[in-house]
Amino acid sequence: MPGEAILRRQRVRESAARTYARSFPIVPVRAHGMTVEGADGRRYLDCLSGAGTLALGHNHPVVLDAIRRTLDSGAPLHLLDLATAEKDDFTTALLESLPAEFAAGARVQFCGPAGTDAVEAALKLMQTATGRRGTLAFTGAYHGMTAGALAVTGNVAVKEPLPSGGEVTRLPYPYSYRCPFGLGGEPGERMSEVYTQRLLDDPSGGVVRPAAMILEAVQGEGGAVPAPDGWLRAMRRITAERGIPLIVDEVQTGVGRTGAMWAIEHSGIVPDAMVLSKAIGGSLPLAVVVYREEYDGWRPGAHAGTFRGNTLAMAAGAATLRYVAANGLAERAGRLGELLIAELSALRAALPVIGEVRGRGLMIGVELVDPAGEMDACGALPADPRLAVRVREACLARGLIVELGGRHDAVLRLLPPLTVTDEQLRAVIDRLAEAIAAAAAPKDGGAR
Q: What is the contact surface with ligand PMP in residues (CB under 6 A)?
A: 51, 114-116, 119, 142-144, 216, 220-221, 249, 251-252, 277
Nearer to ligand PMP, 267 or 277 (CB): 277
To the nearest whole angstrom, how small is the minimum distance from the Cβ of residue 279 to ligand PMP?
11
Residues 6+ apart with CB under 8 A from 374: 381, 382
| String of DSSP letters for 371-430 | TTS---TTSPPPB-HHHHHHHHHHHHHTTEE-EEESGGG-EEEE---TT--HHHHHHHHH
Residue closer to ligand PMP, measured from CB, 216 or 409: 216
Helices (H), 131-228: 147-152, 156-159, 185-201
The distance of closest approach from Cβ of residue 142 to ligand PMP in the complex, given in angstroms and rounded to an integer, is 5
- Cβ–Cβ < 8 Å for 104, 291: no
Find residue 369's DSSP bridge partners.
383
CB of 107 closer than 8 Å to CB of 187: no
Residue whose CB is less far from ligand PMP, 221 or 367? 221
> 65: Cβ–Cβ under 8 A, 6 or more apart, which residues?
319
Please report, for residues 20, 78, 162, the alpha-carbon distance to residue 433 in angstroms, rounded to integers and kept in the order given: 22, 46, 39
Find out whether 40 and 3 touch, Cβ atoms under 8 Å. yes
We find the least distance from the C-beta atom of residue 93 to ligand PMP, in angstroms, to be 20
Evaluated on CA atoms 327, 330, 331, 332, the torsion sign reads: positive
Residue whose C-beta lies closest to ligand PMP: 115
Residue 179 or 251 having the CB closest to ligand PMP: 251
Q: Rounded to the nearest 10 degrees, what angle do helices 185-201 and 229-241 cross at?
A: 10
- Rounded least distance, CB 221 to ligand PMP, Å: 5
Nearest to 149 by CA among 201, 99, 214: 214
State the minimum distance, in angstroms, from the CB of residue 231 to ligand PMP: 17
What is the spatial distance between Cα 168 and Cα 33, in angstroms, rounded to a whole number?
40
β-strand 43-46 against 35-38: which pairing, if any? antiparallel
Q: How far is CA 380 from CA 175, 227, 367, 396, 405, in A?
A: 12, 18, 10, 28, 17
CB of 146 to ligand PMP, least distance (A): 7
Nearer to ligand PMP, 221 or 409 (CB): 221
Q: At what angle do helices 329-346 and 422-440 cross, to 10 degrees?
A: 30
Cα separation, 28 vs 43, in Å, equals 9
Q: Give the shortest CB-382-to-ligand PMP separation in angstroms.
A: 26
Rounded alpha-carbon distances, angstroms, from residue 213 to 127, 143, 200, 278, 440? 11, 12, 12, 22, 40
Output 97 or 277, the one with its CB closest to ligand PMP.
Answer: 277
If the CB atoms of residues 111 and 400 are measured against ligand PMP, the closer one turns out to be 111
Name the minimum Å distance from CB 241 to ligand PMP: 26
Shortest Cβ 412–ligand PMP spacing (Å) = 16
In the complex with ligand PMP, the residue whose CB is nearer, 115 or 337, is: 115
- Choose between 320 and 424: whose C-beta lies nearer to ligand PMP: 320
Please, which residue, 99 or 405, has the CB nearer to ligand PMP? 405
Closest distance of CB 47 from ligand PMP, Å: 15
Task: In angstroms, give the least distance from the CB of 138 to ligand PMP.
Answer: 11
The residue among 53 and 424 lying less far from ligand PMP, judged by its C-beta, is 53
| Cα angle value 156/160/166 (rounded, 5°) | 85
